[in-house]
Amino acid sequence: MLQDRAVLSSHHLLSAFENAPVGMAVLTSAGVITACNAAMSRLLERPVPDLIGGTFLQVTHPDDLDEARRRCALMQDPQAVPGVAPVVRHECRFVLPDQRIIWVSVSTSRVAETPERSAHLIMHIEDVSDRKRLEAELNHRALHDPLTGLANRALLAERMREVLSRRGRHARVGHLFYLDLDGFKAVNDRFGHVAGDAVLTQLAERILALLRAGDVAARLGGDEFAVLCDDTEQHHAGTIAERLRMAAAEPSVVDGSTIRLSATVGCCATDHTDPTTLLREADRRMYEGKRRGGWTIPHPRRTP
C-alpha cells in the first residue's frame, strides 16, 4: 500500500500536473517560477524554458500590476492569511508576445515549509476572456440604448449623480440639455419605422460629433434625447443648445429620401439636488420653449 502511494506521488501526480487542462505553475514564496505545465505555455504563448526563472508580473498588464503585487505580498506572508493552505484568488490581464490582452483567473495557494523543502506557491491560471467579453457586452446593453448606442436613462442618471456629487464652492456648473424632435411621428407614419430608426441613428451620430470627451449623450426614449455637459460656462450653454438644434435640423437621407425635421431644446444648470429633479427641470424648460416660441409641428418633407 505504501508503495502504491509512492508511485502515485512520483508518477501520477507529475502526469496530472503536466497534462492538466488549465495552466499550473510552482513558484518560490517570492513568486519566481520554478516549474509550469504545457497548458501554461500555451496560455501565455511562450515556451516553458522562457517562463522558468521569471515571474508572472512580467506578463501582467501595467494597469493591474499594483493589485498583482499586493496579492503576491499577501502570499509571501504566512501570517497574513490564516490556515494551513490559504488560497488567494483574483482576476487580471496578461499581455501576450504579440501584445494581445487576455483576462485570466488566478488562484494561488501557499504550501508550508517542510523538512524536505522550503515553502512554495502553487498557482492555477485559467483564461476567462470569453466570460469577460460577455460581461462587458451585457453591461453595455444594460446602460446603452440598443438603437443608437447612446447612453440610456440609467447611465445618464449615473453620470448626473457623479456631476452633482462634485458640486462645490469653486466647481464650475455644468448644463443638461433636453432635446425633443418636432413632428417625428409623421416620419414613422409616412416612411415607416425603419426610416424613423435611421433618422434617430443619424441624429445620434451628429450629436456625438458635437461633444467633448467628458460629455454624455443619451436617448431617453422615442424621439427624446439628453446631453450632459459638465464644467460649462453659462454663456456657452446657448451656443450648445443652438448647435443641437442645428444638428436636428440637418437633413437625414434614408433610401434616397431626404427627411427634414426640427427640434426644441430645453436647458438647465446642474445645480439641482438629484438627477430626477434635474431631468424634470430640463424637460419642463423644453416644453416652455415650445410654448414661448410658438412652435408648430412641421411635417417631414421628402425631396424628389
pLDDT level of residue 34 (50, 70, 90 thresholds) = very high
pLDDT at 299: 39
Domain total of the chain: 2
DSSP letter, residue 273: S
Most confident segment among 4-8, 159-163, 231-235: 159-163
Considering only CA atoms, which of 129, 100, 125, 101 is closest in space to residue 36?
Answer: 125
Contact 183, 256 (CB under 8 A): no
Q: CA-to-CA distance for 126 and 106, rounded, in angstroms?
A: 7
Domain boundary among 67, 99, 134: 134
Cα end-to-end span (Å), the chain? 93
Domain boundary among 108, 134, 160: 134
pLDDT at 173: 79
Instruction: Please indicate, yes or no, if residue 64 is contained in any of the structural domains.
Output: yes
Q: Which domain holds residue 174?
A: 144-302
Contact 59, 123 (CB under 8 A): no
pLDDT for 80 beyond 60: no
Residues 167 and 75 grouped into a single domain: no
pLDDT for 301 beyond 50: no
Residues 152 and 232 grouped into a single domain: yes
Query: What is the pTM for the complete model shown?
Result: 0.70
CATH code, 70: 3.30.450.20
Instruction: Please indicate, yes or no, if residue 153 is contained in any of the structural domains.
Output: yes
pLDDT level of residue 194 (50, 70, 90 thresholds) = very high
Residues 225 and 124 grouped into a single domain: no
Burial class, 293, CB count within 10 angstroms (exposed 0-12 / middle 13-18 / buried 19+):
exposed
Residues 158 and 260 grouped into a single domain: yes
Contact 177, 283 (CB under 8 A): no
pLDDT at 10: 67
Considering only CA atoms, which of 60, 65, 59, 53 is closest in space to residue 26?
Answer: 53
DSSP letter, residue 202: H
pLDDT for 90 beyond 80: yes
Residues 89 and 179 grouped into a single domain: no
Residues 120 and 266 grouped into a single domain: no
Residues 93 and 71 grouped into a single domain: yes
**Cell numbers 464652492 label which residue?**
169
Q: CA-to-CA distance for 197 and 199, rounded, in angstroms?
A: 5
**Cell numbers 484568488 label which residue?**
89
pLDDT level of residue 110 (50, 70, 90 thresholds) = confident
User: What is the rounded average pLDDT of the residues 76-83?
Assistant: 56
Contact 41, 19 (CB under 8 A): no
Domain boundary among 102, 134, 166: 134
